[in-house]
Chains A and B, each alone.
Chain A
């Protein structure tokens, strides 16, 4: 990767362009009335096609992707994105379909939706899916709307609170707030699981439901799920499953069987569609049979959701088929446990035992917290990993530990890659003990060094300004 400084505006030269449009064969329509016309100059860049191609190619070379290297990124399942999926999504018979074409004209697309619905239902044990949500958080919001609608339809209007564990993804409480629900936090036990005794007094006629992910954000299976489901249902609430952590359960356990009533999936995580630098995603929502009637009243996106993403995910499901589904879950869990056991003598493992697809270290054993022993923080470790060609893990989440460092390898990495990662993590631990400054100042080999984020927030420059 090399530093490249230009912005597209700085490639601009008056009179250049990069398009090719047909000659105008029509009589000229009249101009818009003056009062409705744009007055301001249109300062778009003027760039030739080769200059555009070079500029964005140069930009791309400052980026790290799954195709570049390993992403041990907890809570965000960054697995390999098979290329056949891209080819299928680009087919003109799909890409050229107008979303308002009636079903009689789009039988192929409708069949994809039907089969995808069935496949996701089979994988998760839910009854029916809507594919309209465009991302995971969008799915959460849709799922919570369905939760509230279910209670409203039964005339049960006082269920205005939702229980969220303190270890939950930030989107959970945020989605609840957008949905008009009050968040009630339930604490975790020292072993990382939900405290069932603390949950009991929270349950009552004002509780719409509980949002959980299982395994939770520590990568630990909620062993009391059966009890929790029974308690919540007994109190008249519903169970929401945050599908961000579905990967270890693929082919092994189904959320529907554990008692969950509503869930979302992240097709851009579990189902291998590319993350695109932050989207597009797709967040299908599945419901139990008793919620099916609530689906038609909730419209959350322009048309049918992110069809292009759904096509990719469907190609992935077909490539796994019945035979290979279980390998996804098992190998993801195998890789995570292998890394955990290989590093726990140099990184603090706060909770022992078998994990699922991910686990959390509470920083280095030599964490730099004591003046007399050299060490480094989780941020330092993350930044140093970049020097060695790995993406950083998710850091400082979950909030249960001060130096949280969350590792998720996924099933698509070879043992050789994983061993190389373990070696580097051990090397970094050794560096932290011997010469922690190398870590404090990392990264050293990336196109840029650590940025001044304080100034960025204090004096925001959020668009191009000519000097």
Chain B
């Protein structure tokens, strides 16, 4: 090979690099490990992590993963494939993305979904940019204080650099305040408002009148959703939202310390061409067969460069496949049953915790599904529950503690958790 190139040794291939930049000496890396050594080392790292029963959500939910999903997602034709630019040899990827888009539209009740974004908070940041792009001269986006803290922080970070002013809608009585929204809208210049479908306290929000008030000011209503809960709660489409966003993680993705997850976005058809990210469309090939391609690419960075709707290139395609297979296996009844089990379990835990006398209710009577907050009477509850084998009672900024129950938590586990609370 060197002869063909016309050089004598490998070093000659770097003859164009100024000598001072050629690294001398050894790199400060550990010595190479064999496969067995890697196994042993990772086993030792793994053993350093606590193994606790998870009773916390707050944006990452410990739902059940059917065994079919990792099995199919590990197929190397999916796992090791590149972005499907060469559609003739990527119909597998393109078809599942088309299915994914269709499923996201079904869940959200909106018209068009993209092929995925990084995670929920970045999807919210993209929605913020999109609201500005769709409404032209407006410069302000409102965030409900009921959104998860990580959503607010990521949107704030993007906004600071993108030149978007952020305003806030307060929470009153456990949900985004309609009065607060009207007050902020009256200040003008609002391009969009991001509100949670289910908020940081686990409460299912009532957005009656939101869309009308926002649309009257020519802004966009953006709903941040838990896609699993969309099987039972009013959809963004039904609230007349313009954009739905969220994280697909609750649809069977492992917790995996925060990623990879998958951000989703669906919009009303009018806003389709302002959407960030890849989109798959249906067409025909030369023989007239139904085939799928990446389409509307004139929005994207590789065509439009600085004028693109977003900088996103790689997304979370494999996790979109994960979600697609999850929804296919669960079907309408399965997804509703997941909600029922989680909701019944959470309400059982809620009432059992109240019976201990160690908590005060924060939002009595407010509707919740799998997640809720209470005000603890004793400090350091989280630490005490850790010792009993539970990750639970996550403290919030307001001094509450948050609990979450999914269908993976059994009655015996919940009873044991309550016992641990009582034993303090």
Contacts and interface: CB of A to CB of B under 8 A. Distances in A.
Contacts of B301: 137, 170-171, 173-174
B23 interface: yes
B216 interface: no
Interface string A374-398: 0000000011001000011000010
Interface in A284-315: 297-309, 311, 315
Given A27-B344, A96-B51, A461-B282, 10 more contacts: A18-B68, A67-B79, A108-B47, A119-B30, A173-B306, A178-B311, A258-B21, A280-B314, A320-B29, A451-B284
Nearest to B343: A29
A79 to B, nearest CB: 10
B306 A183 contact: yes
Contacts of B268: none
B156 to A, nearest CB: 8
21 contacts: A7-B102, A21-B64, A21-B341, A33-B206, A35-B208, A39-B234, A62-B91, A66-B76, A88-B39, A93-B47, A100-B59, A178-B129, A220-B16, A277-B90, A279-B314, A308-B259, A322-B26, A451-B291, A457-B297, A463-B101, A463-B111
Given A138-B118, A174-B310, A448-B91, A106 B257 contact: yes
B356 interface: no
Interface stretch (B135-143, B177-185, B318-326, B416-424): B318-326
Interface string B253-278: 01111111100000000001000001
B79 A44 contact: no
Contacts of B291: 448, 451
A212 to B, nearest CB: 14
A303 B247 CA distance: 12
Interface string B28-42: 111111010111011
A101 B50 contact: yes
Interface stretch (A231-239, A331-339, A363-371, A425-433): A331-339
Nearest to B205: A36
B347 interface: yes
- Pairs A-B, 3 closest by C-beta atoms: A321-B32, A303-B258, A99-B258
A334 B2 contact: yes
B378 interface: no
A354 B89 contact: no
A108 B259 contact: no
A45 interface: yes
A65 B394 CA distance: 42
Contact of B344 (A29, A171, A307): A29
B307 A177 contact: yes
Contact of A173 (B118, B305, B333, B346): B305
Contact of A460 (B87, B285, B295): B295
Interface in B387-415: 391, 394, 407, 410-411
Interface in B1-54: 1-2, 4-7, 10, 12-18, 20-23, 26-33, 35, 37-39, 41-52, 54
Contact of B331 (A17, A65, A134, A317): A17
Contacts of B153: 299
B302 A38 contact: no
Given A27-B348, A108-B49, A315-B38, A174 B308 contact: yes
B348 A308 contact: no
Contacts of A65: 76-82
B68 A277 contact: no
A463 B282 CA distance: 8
Nearest to B289: A448
Interface in B79-120: 79-84, 86-93, 95-99, 101-103, 105-107, 109, 111-113, 115-116, 118-120
B151 to A, nearest CB: 8
A209 B186 CA distance: 40
B313 A171 contact: yes
A278 B206 contact: no
A66 B257 CA distance: 27
Contacts of B381: none
B195 interface: no
Interface string B149-174: 01001101110011100000000000
B199 interface: no
Contacts of A117: none
B406 to A, nearest CB: 11
B74 interface: yes
B56 A98 contact: yes
A144 B281 CA distance: 33
Contacts of B325: 52, 56
B32 A257 contact: no
A195 interface: no
A78 interface: yes
B327 interface: yes
B228 to A, nearest CB: 12
Contacts of A60: 72, 75, 77-78, 92
Given A137-B314, A306-B260, A452-B283, A251 B49 contact: no
A16 interface: yes
A443 interface: yes
B191 interface: no
A450 B308 contact: no
Interface string A35-58: 111111111111101001101110
Contacts of B28: 118, 122, 322
B213 interface: no
Nearest to B404: A98
Given A35-B234, A43-B332, A134 B80 contact: no
Contact of A176 (B18, B111, B306, B338): B306
Contacts of B303: 170
A92 B257 CA distance: 11
A334 B37 CA distance: 30
A415 interface: yes
Contacts of A44: 103, 106, 327-328, 330-332, 335
B44 to A, nearest CB: 8
Given A45-B328, A179-B161, A221 B42 contact: no
A138 B88 contact: no
Interface string A67-80: 11001010010100
Interface in A104-150: 104-109, 111-112, 118-119, 122-123, 134-138, 140-141, 144-145, 148
Interface in A169-211: 170-171, 173-180, 183
A176 B308 CA distance: 11
A118 B30 CA distance: 10
B172 to A, nearest CB: 17
Contacts of B287: 448-449
A348 interface: no
A391 B37 CA distance: 34
Nearest to A257: B21
B56 A415 contact: no
Contact of A453 (B23, B52, B257, B295): B295
Nearest to A51: B328
Contact of B105 (A105, A320, A463): A463
A330 B10 contact: yes
A101 B391 contact: yes
A251 B23 contact: yes
